[in-house]
Chains A and B, each alone.
Chain A
Amino acid sequence: MNGMRLRALLWLTLAVVLAIAAAVQFAGPLPLQSNLLALLPPTERNPVAEHAVSRLAEAAGDRAIFLIGRPKADTLELGKAARDFGAQLRASEVFRSVVDEIPPFDPQQLARFYFPYRFNLLGDGDRAASSDLVERLQRKLYTPFQFGPGYPLADDPFGFGDAWLAGLPLKTLRLETQDGLLVARSGENVWAMVSAVLPGSAYDGSIQTRVAAAVAGAEARLKQDFPGLEVLRTGTVFYAGAARQSAEREVDFIGAGSLLGMLLLLYLVFRSLRPLALGLLSVGFGVAAAATVTVAVHGELHLITLVFGASLIGEAIDYAVQYLAAHLGAGKGWEPMAGLRRIAPGLLTALATSLLSYAALMLAPFPALSQIALFALVGLSAACASVFLLLPWLLKAPGKRDPEAAVALPRRFLVGWKKHVGRRACLTAAAALLALSAPGWSRLASNDDVRILISRPLALVAQEEKIRELTGFGNSSQFFLVEGKTPEEVLRNEERLLEKLAPLAGDDDKSVLSGYLGVSMFVPSANRQAHNRQRWERSVFADERRLRELLSDASLRDELAERMIEDFANSKSHVLSVDDWFQSPLSTPFRHLWLGKVPGNGAGHFAAIVQPQGIRDVGRLAVLSGALDGVTFVDKAGSVSRLFQEYRQWGIVWLLGALLLIYGVLCLRYGPAQSVFMLLPTALALAVVLGAFGYMATPLTLFNLMGFMLVVGVGVNYAIFLREGGVNAAATLAGVLLSAGTTLLSFGLLAFSSMPALSSFGLTLLLGICVAVLLAPMVLSFMPEASR
C-alpha cells in the first residue's frame, strides 16, 4: 500500500512539474508552425542557394495579389471598383501597404536612364555583328512606326540605342497601365490588379485571420457595389491560412472522433465510467507531456505533428487498457500490485518495441519525422508511466463484475480458435496470404512528388493559375544561382550563363525554355561595357569625317554630328553599375534578382539569380549549369522530391532494421524460434498491405513507410499482449481488440485527412492494423504446449 502511495505521489509531482512547464510554455499563442516546407531539412548543398530560396519565398510570400474583373468589364467602372477595393483593404489597417494605383509608366524614362551610358551599351545582335551605318540611318529615318521606348533621331541616328532598349526583357509581365491602374487582359476580359503587403509572416495565425477578415469584408462590399465583378486572389497567406484551418478542423475531427469512439468502446467492454476516467487520465498525461517536451525541444509545434498527435491517443491508451483488462479478468481476486507485476513484462516489451520503431524515425535527419518521433516517444512513455505509477492506487478495489460473464464472447472465440486453428492452418493461411499478395507487389509504384506533403485547396490553385496566366508572374522555385567574389564577377558569370541560355529559348515546343530574366540584361558587366564601347569606337567614331558626311547626306543638322563626337569623348568614364540601376524606380520589379552580398562561402561574396521562364526541360538546365563556374541550378521542388525519394528508399532499410531490433528484443523474452512466430502476424500484415497498394494502384510514398513503422510497432504489441495473457487470456483478448479498435479509430481517421501525407499514413495504418490484429491470435497456435 505504501509503495502504491509513493508511486502516486511521484506521478503527482511529475504532473505538477509538467503543468507548470506547460503553463509557462503555452502562456502566449500556441507556437504552431503551418509552413509545411519548414518541416524539411535544407535540400541544397550550397548554403547560398538555400538562402536564395528563402529570400525568394519571402519576397513572394509577404504579399497578397488580387485581380478584379469580369468579361467585357467597363474599364472606368473597373477602375472605380479596384480603387474602392484598395481603399477597403487600406481602411482595415491590416496590411502594411496596399497598392491599387501606380504612377504612370513612362517608357521614355527608360530611354532617359540609359542615355548617359549609351556608348557602353549594345543589343545582342549589334554585339555579335557589325552592320552598315547607312542602312541603319535609313531605317531610323523611314520607319513609319517606332514601337516601345526609343530615342529621337538626333540622339540615336543609327538606332543602336533603340536596339538596346528593344532587347530589354520588359515583356515578362503581361500587365499594362491604364488610367493609373495595372491591368491584365485576356481576350475581351479586363482585370485590374490590387496588391497588398502583409504586416508580418504569412504563416502567422493572427495575420492569417485578420487578412481573411479584411479580404472577406472588402470582397463583400465590392460584390454589393459592383454586382457581377469577380475577385481572384493569390498569396502564401491564403494557402497557409487554408492549411491551418483544415489542420485545426482535422485535429478537432480526428481528436474528437477517436476520443468519443474510444470512450464508447471502453464503456462497452468495462461497463463502468471509472475505466474511462483512468484511460483519459493516462492519455491526457501522455499527450500533455509530449506537447510540452516537443515545444521545449523544437521551439514550435508543427501542425502535422499536432494532427499526428491527435491520433497518438489511440496508441497511448493501450497500456491503460491492458491494465484495465487485467483488472476485469481477475474479478474478485484483484490485487493491484500483483496484477501490475503480471502484466509488466508484456507492457514493457510492448513499450520497448514501440519506442524502438519511433526511435528509428527519430534518426532521420528530417525535422518532420524527428518531431513526430519525439512527440510519440515522450507521449507513449508518459502514458505508460501513468499506468505504472498512478493506476494501481486509483484502481484498488476488485471488480464487481463476474469476469466469466464479462468476457464470455472473447473466451468462446479463444476456445474455438484453439480447437480449430492449429499450426498447420496458420502456416497454410500465411502461405495463402503471401501467394495472394505477391502479384500486387510487382505492381507497386512510388510517388515522391512534393505535393504529397503540400495539398492546396483546388479553388485557390485555380485562382492562382488564372492570375499566373493573366499576369505572367512566374514560379519561384526553379532558378539559376549566380555567384562571384565581386558584383562584376557575378555579372560576368551571369553573362556567360545567358549566352548558353539564349539559343535554348523560344516559343516552340522544341525549346528548352521560353525566356529568362537576369540583372545583367539591364546592367552589362563593366567588362562587356568596355567591349561595347570599343565597338562603338571602331564602327562609328573611327572616322569622324565620314560620320559627319553620313549624317549630313541624310540631311541631319551639322551640329548633331559634332555633339555626338563630343558626347562620346566625354562619356569615357561613364560606367553603368548595378547600384545605378537600383537607384532608378524602373528597376523595382527586378530587384529580387539581385541578392547582393550574401552570407556564407567566406567574406565578400555576392550572388544574383536568373529566373528561367516557361521551362520545358528542367534536366537540360541542370546539366547546363554544371558546366559553368559560379552557376548553380536550384530546383526546390525537385530537391524536395529527391529528398522524399531518398528517405523512402532509406525507409525500407530502416523498416528492416526496426524489424531486426524488435526481433532482438523479443528473443530476450521468447527465444529465437518463438520470436519468429511473434513477428509473423505483423510481417504478414506488411506483406498484405503492400500487395493491396499494388492492386489499388496507390503509389508508395515516404509517408506510407512511416505508417508501416507504426504497424510494426503496434502489431507486435498485440502479439505480445495475447501471448502474455495467460490465465486471463480472454480478458486480454478483449483488451487487445479494444486497443486495436481505439488505434483504428484514431489512426484510421487520418486516412480522411486532407493532407495527402497524413491520409496515406492513415490508410497504411488502417489496413495494416486490421490485418495485424486479425492475425494476432496466430501466436496462440504457435505457443509451446507447456505454456498454453
Chain B
Amino acid sequence: MKKIRSLLVGLMIATTTLVSPLPACAADVLNQIGAQIEQFQVIRAEFVQTKQMAALKRPLVTSGHLTFSRQHGVLWQIEKPYRVSYVLGETKIVEIGGSGGDSVRRVRETRDVPGLAQVGRVFRAMLGANSDTLREYFDVAAQGTPAQWSIALTPRQSQLARFLSGMQLTGGRFVEEIRISEAGGDDTRIRLSNSQGAAALNDAEATLFGTENDGSGR
C-alpha cells in the first residue's frame, strides 16, 4: 500500500542527515545516524520519482523539490508534470494546488486516518534514529560505510508485508536513491540529488508550513 511511502520519506529524511565521515561497522549505521542527526535543521533536495505500475502503459515520472524541517515536517513540491505541494506535518497533511499556496485544497488530520499515527511514529523514530521502534516494524539490515551505504527494510508484521515486500535505501553523505517494492508488483524509485543542509526554512517554505496551521478548506 502506498502509505508505506511515507514511512519511506521518513527514512529518507533520516538518512539524508548521514554526514559521518567515520568508518563504522555496518550494524551500527543506524546508531550513527542517531549520533549525527542533530546536524541540520533543514535539508533540501531535488527528486525524480519513477513509478512503475501494472495499470500504466508507461512509467509515471514526477519531479520536484523536497524540504525537510526537523521542526515542522516535510514539504513535497511536485513541479512536473504539474504543480502541486504537500505539507506533511505532525498532525495534519495539507495538499496545496498550484505553486504559491493560493488555494488550500485538502487538509487531513493524521489522527483521522487509521494507521497514519503509526506511520508518523515510525517517521519520528527514524528522525530520532530510534532503532528499537524501527525494529518493531522492520527487520533492518545495513551494510557499507557511512560514506557509501545501503539499508534494507523488510516488514516484520504480516499486516505490513501484505502491501510492502521491502524498501531499499542507498546513499553516501545523503540518501541518493529509495526503492519501494510493493507486494502487488508496483515499484517506485526516487532519486535524490543536490542535497543540501541548511539552518532554517526560507520565507516561502515557512509560508507553506504556516498554511498548515490555518486548517481552512476541509
Interface residues, chain A, with chain B CB atoms under 8 Å away? 75-76, 104-108, 138-139, 141-150, 152-154, 166, 170-171, 174, 176-179, 185, 555-557, 560
Contacts and interface: CB of A to CB of B under 8 A. Distances in A.
Contacts of B114: 105, 107, 148-149, 170-171, 176
B159 A106 contact: yes
Contact of A557 (B2, B3, B55): B55
Nearest to B184: A152
B55 A152 contact: yes
Contacts of A105: 114, 159
Interface in B106-141: 108, 110-119, 136
Contacts of B84: 139, 142
A32 to B, nearest CB: 45
A108 B160 CA distance: 11
Contacts of B58: 555
16 contacts: A104-B157, A108-B1, A142-B81, A145-B6, A147-B93, A147-B110, A147-B115, A148-B114, A148-B115, A153-B55, A171-B111, A176-B114, A176-B115, A176-B118, A178-B157, A179-B157
Interface string B48-67: 01000111111010100000
Contacts of B2: 143, 145-146, 150
The 4 closest A-B pairs by CB, nearest first: A154-B55, A146-B2, A148-B113, A104-B159
In the complex, which of the residues A108, A142, A171, A178 has the most CB atoms of chain B within 10 Å of its own CB atom? Answer: A142
A75 to B, nearest CB: 6
B55 A556 contact: yes
Contacts of A555: 56-58, 60
B157 A556 contact: no
B158 A147 contact: no
Nearest to B112: A171
A108 B182 CA distance: 14
Interface in B138-194: 157-159, 162-163, 184
A198 to B, nearest CB: 29
A674 B43 CA distance: 98
Contact of A106 (B6, B57, B162, B184): B162
Contacts of B54: 154
B3 A153 contact: no
Contacts of B159: 104-106, 177
Contact of A556 (B57, B93, B110): B57
Contacts of B78: 142, 144
Contacts of B209: none
Contacts of B111: 171, 174
A108 B157 contact: no
Given A104-B158, A106-B159, A147 B5 contact: no
B208 to A, nearest CB: 15
Interface of B: 1-3, 5-6, 9, 49, 53-58, 60, 62, 76, 78, 81-82, 84, 86, 88, 93, 95, 108, 110-119, 136, 157-159, 162-163, 184
A139 B158 CA distance: 29
A153 B2 CA distance: 11
A38 B6 CA distance: 53
Nearest to B182: A152
A104 B118 CA distance: 14
A783 B162 CA distance: 96
Given A138-B82, A146-B3, A555-B60, A185 B117 contact: yes
Contacts of A149: 114
A185 B108 CA distance: 20
A106 B163 CA distance: 10
A144 B76 contact: yes
B57 to A, nearest CB: 5
Given A108-B1, A148-B113, A148-B115, 4 more contacts: A145-B6, A147-B6, A150-B2, A176-B115
A556 B56 CA distance: 4
A74 to B, nearest CB: 8
Contacts of B81: 142
Nearest to A110: B114
A176 B111 CA distance: 11
Contact of B1 (A104, A146, A166, A185): A146
A679 to B, nearest CB: 66
Contacts of A143: 2, 86, 95
A348 to B, nearest CB: 72
Contact of B3 (A104, A148, A154, A185): A148
Contacts of B76: 144
In the complex, which of the residues B6, B82, B113, B184 has the most CB atoms of chain A within 10 Å of its own CB atom? Answer: B113
B113 A176 contact: no
In the complex, which of the residues B1, B58, B163 has the most CB atoms of chain A within 10 Å of its own CB atom? Answer: B1
B113 A171 contact: yes
B48 to A, nearest CB: 13
A145 B60 contact: no
Contacts of B49: 144
A145 B93 CA distance: 10
A153 B49 CA distance: 17
Contacts of A177: 159
B55 A147 contact: no
A150 B1 CA distance: 8
A139 B57 CA distance: 18
Contacts of B1: 107-108, 146, 150
Contact of A142 (B6, B62, B158, B184): B62
B162 A108 contact: yes
